[in-house]
Amino acid sequence: MTDGPAPAAARRIGLTDTYVAPLAVGAMLMGTRTPEPEARRILDHYVTEVVPRFAAPHGAAVPGMIDTADCYCWWEDPGSLGGHSEALLGRWLQVSGARANVLLATKGSGMLGSVDDVFDDGVANWDLARKLYVGAAADTLRLALAASLDRLGLDSVDLYYVHVDDRSTPLEETLGFLASAVDAGLIGAYGWSNAASWRLAQIRAICETHGWPQPVAFQQQHSYLRPRADLHHPGIVTTEHLDYLRTYADLQLVAYSPVLKGLYSDKARRDRRFWAMHQYAGADSDARLKAVDDVAAQTGATGNQVVLAWMMSRRWPSMIPIIGARTFDQYLECVEAVDVELDLEQLDVLQNAGA
């Protein structure tokens, strides 16, 4: 399978019969930092103006992927446990009639057991919060999925992720529950997020042993910049992840934070003190940012659009970037990347740039 200059096209989810639009919409901030009217404007535009532009190879209409989680967005509402995004999506689905045009993904295991003492002067203490995840035990996920479906107003969800890899719970327990949820029709398929590549290998082996369905999606932070060599971050794609995904085509990479808080378009955010840039800062990223700027100048596109177009050109492995915009204008800039066509020379410049 090769990468090339073809325009953005529908993506197949692994080896399933399901195809989706090549860009997904992330709903993390919807219902908190993104007010409901603004969120509905984004969602309405996505399903009416963007998704219908794409079709499966046999010509059938495809849905667009909308991504959320049960814990979104407790850190924006001190004292809450989350649920804002799912509840907003449930209200929007009820009035929009858009359910058939949406592949809806949500997640469990990342909610906190308690938010007591997690905030300091209104700012979340993430070092403490990470110790309070409820985890992926079978009973925990059973209750979490039921609560998510209730907030969404649905009987089932298309894709359900283990949001935060839980190494304290035996994988057999978690996978057994997910297999039973697929059998019961509560979820169409499942995925994993924020996990090491060796964990993906363990999951595959256990599923093969028990005859359980394999995960179809792997959601991880991924962008055009490559992380610092000394960085240890369980949520960022590594070369080992890419090797694994190239080996197993049944697992689709779904990339969150693809534009790294907009730093490809906003040069002021490229300071290494900015947390998104800090994970990538170095000579390699400097060279790759220059390549983005050069291609943006050639095409008239923004830096964010160039990076998203580059990601949509990838076939080995295939990637579905998630647009996690806060405002409609931010969303519109990113979604217009589907109109950016990069030629072979520009793709070659982007692919080979680096220190």
Residues of the chain with pLDDT > 90: what percent? Answer: 92
Q: Residue 62's closest CA among 46, 79, 38?
A: 46
C-alpha–C-alpha distance, residues 16 and 216, integer Å: 8
Both tokens of residue 290? Answer: 């220059």
- Tell me what pLDDT residue 7 has: 66
C-alpha–C-alpha distance, residues 320 and 157, integer Å: 19
Q: Would 192 be classed as within a structural domain? A: yes
Both tokens of residue 274? Answer: 């900015």
**According to DSSP H, which parts of the chain are helical?**
36-45, 84-96, 126-129, 138-152, 171-183, 197-210, 239-247, 275-278, 283-299, 303-313, 328-335, 344-352
Q: Are strands 11-12 and 19-20 parallel, antiparallel or unpaired?
A: antiparallel
pLDDT tier at 160, thresholds 50, 70, 90: very high
pLDDT tens digit string along 279-309? 999 999 999 999 999 999 999 999 999 999 9
Q: Would 331 be classed as within a structural domain? A: yes
Q: Would 217 be classed as within a structural domain? A: yes
**H or E element in which residue 220 lies:** strand 217-221
- Tell me what pLDDT residue 283 has: 95
Task: Using alpha carbons only, give the angle 133, 138, 142 rounded to the nearest 5 degrees.
Answer: 85
Instruction: Give the residue with greater pLDDT, 6 vs 127.
Output: 127
Q: Residue 306's closest CA among 274, 244, 353?
A: 353
Range of the domain at 73: 11-268+300-342
Total domain count, the chain: 1
DSSP class of 338: G
Contact between 106 and 157 (Cβ < 8 Å): yes
Q: Residue 169's closest CA among 197, 142, 134?
A: 134
Q: pTM to 2 decimals?
A: 0.96
Whether the per-residue pLDDT at 221 is higher than 90: the answer is: yes
C-alpha–C-alpha distance, residues 226 and 229, integer Å: 9
Q: Would 290 be classed as within a structural domain? A: no
Question: Residue type at 220?
Answer: Q
Give the mean model confidence (pLDDT) for residues 248-257: 97
Give the mean model confidence (pLDDT) for residues 67-96: 97
Contact between 260 and 331 (Cβ < 8 Å): no
Whether the per-residue pLDDT at 231 is higher than 90: the answer is: no
Tokens 């204008």 belong to 329
Query: What's the full length of the chain, in residues?
Result: 355
- Tell me what pLDDT residue 289 has: 98
Domain containing residue 234: CATH number: 3.20.20.100
- Tell me what pLDDT residue 251 has: 97
Q: What is the DSSP string of 25-94?
A: EE-TTBTTTB-HHHHHHHHHHIIIIIGGG-B-TTS-B--EEEE--TTTTGGGSTT----HHHHHHHHHHH
Whether the per-residue pLDDT at 1 is higher than 60: the answer is: no
Whether the per-residue pLDDT at 5 is higher than 80: the answer is: no
Both tokens of residue 113? Answer: 């057991």
206 in the Ramachandran plot: left (φ > 0), alpha (ψ -120 to 50) or beta?
Answer: alpha
Which of helix, strand or coil describes residue 148?
Answer: helix
C-alpha–C-alpha distance, residues 303 and 285, integer Å: 14
Q: Would 349 be classed as within a structural domain? A: no
Both tokens of residue 339? Answer: 């109109």
Contact between 186 and 149 (Cβ < 8 Å): yes
- Tell me what pLDDT residue 234 has: 87
Q: Would 288 be classed as within a structural domain? A: no
Q: Would 33 be classed as within a structural domain? A: yes
Whether the per-residue pLDDT at 2 is higher than 60: the answer is: no
- 351 beta partners: none
Mean pLDDT of the chain: 95
Contact between 193 and 218 (Cβ < 8 Å): yes
C-alpha–C-alpha distance, residues 262 and 325, integer Å: 9
Q: Would 305 be classed as within a structural domain? A: yes
Whether the per-residue pLDDT at 232 is higher than 90: the answer is: no
